[in-house]
Amino acid sequence: MLGFNQYTVKKNERALLLRNGDFEQLLGPGKHRVFSGFDALKLERFSLAEPAFDHELADYFLAREPELVEREFVQVSLGETQVGLRHEDGVLVQILPPATRKLYWRGLREQRVDVVDVAADARLPAELLAKLQSVALRPRAVQGLDGVLLVQVPEFHAGVLTLEGQMQAMLPPGNHGFWRFNRQVAVTCVDLRSQIAEVSGQEILTRDKVGLRLNLSAVWRFTDVRQALAQMPKPAEHVYRELQFGLRAAVGEQTLDALLENKAAIDQTVLAQMRERLKDSGVVLESVGVKDIILPGEMKTILAQVVEAEKSAQANVIRRREETAATRSLLNTAKVMEGNPVALRMKELETLERVAERIDKISVVGGLDQVLNGLVTLRPNAS
């Protein structure tokens, strides 16, 4: 029926008046009396707390309502190589991708969009990088961060920058940022310090067909990161694999006895072989050491028996040698005393002195000559 419709728009709102589903006008804050006639009126309200105008009429406004857009909105129209940095009240809140066309309400917050051309340089401007690095400390996050790559290269590391699949310059320690729009960019951090490679549980046959289990540890480092990555996609895995091959070659060419006698020979062989294989690869091996050589259970028993037999034989040889030396000494003494009564007498007195040290009391009958002739009575002192 004919008549008027009364609408009230709040100060923090804007409203679109649609007549029969078609846009008629934009209503600002206040009371509005609209003649309806026989038409169907509809009011769509928008809160200025949500500044983005995401509506199907946005393209129509940009094309046909320039005065309305100028009065009520902040317009964003980005090219194929342009990125928009949207600020609210001077604070960065959003990164807009290339080819963005958007409208933002004017009103509660001051809207500003800075346009940056990303075609010339993939690196973020230093000022923007500093802002984005502090985002984690802010309660309000920046939208659209997936369009940038933020990297922190730790101390004693290098960052390997790859653009469109091609390796670029090495990045020093510090914070770095790059645009991801219209390009493929990646950064890999590489540790420049010495690194440890553990090769554990390697079961290898010696030259005399004895199975051993060995654990080896090696220390390596990068000398030229670019050269190393140009030859090896995963240098750490390459070093590990070469250590396996070197260890098998070193153990397989020696017998068990030789290995047990000189474990350092394995280290020297592996180190020499690895340095030759890693020559001009951008990676150097600093040291190699075999930590453990684990024998099978039955081989341990056999070796224990062999060692026991060897030690027993050595003990017998030493015992026989000492007995022979003692016998020879007694024979020499006897020969000396045979032709020298004085020496014989002194030996007798020495013997008597040793005997006297072991008893408390000596009773002598018949003089000293009788003692020396075996007529000595040795009687311990009664307790």
pLDDT 10s digits, 224-271: 999 999 899 899 999 999 999 998 888 888 887 787 777 788 888 899
- CA 135 vs CA 25, 79, 83, 131, 142: distances in Å: 40, 26, 19, 7, 7
Is-contact 25 34, C-beta < 8 A?
Answer: no
What's the pLDDT score for residue 250?
Answer: 86
Structure tokens at 191: 């540790």
pTM above 0.85, yes or no: no
What's the pLDDT score for residue 377?
Answer: 43
Helix, strand, coil in percent for the chain, rounding step 5: 35, 35, 30
Whole-number average pLDDT of the chain: 84
Beta strand 91-96 pairing with 185-191? unpaired
Confidence bin at 194 (pLDDT 50/70/90):
very high
pLDDT at 148 over 90: yes
Rounded-to-integer distance, Cα 362 and Cα 223, Å: 89
Rounded-to-integer distance, Cα 304 and Cα 326, Å: 33
CATH-assigned architecture of domain 195-295:
2-Layer Sandwich (3.30)
Domain range annotation of the chain: 195-295, 320-378
Confidence bin at 139 (pLDDT 50/70/90):
low
DSSP letter string over 128-185?
HHHHHHTGGGSSSPPBTGGGEEEEEEPTTEEEEEEETTEEEEEEPSEEEEEE-TTS-E
Confidence bin at 378 (pLDDT 50/70/90):
very low
Average pLDDT over residues 290-294: 83
What's the pLDDT score for residue 371?
Answer: 55
140-144, 280-284, 369-373: segment of lowest average pLDDT: 369-373
Beta carbons within 8 Å of 216's beta carbon, 6+ residues apart: 198, 199, 200, 202, 243, 247, 270, 288, 289, 290, 291
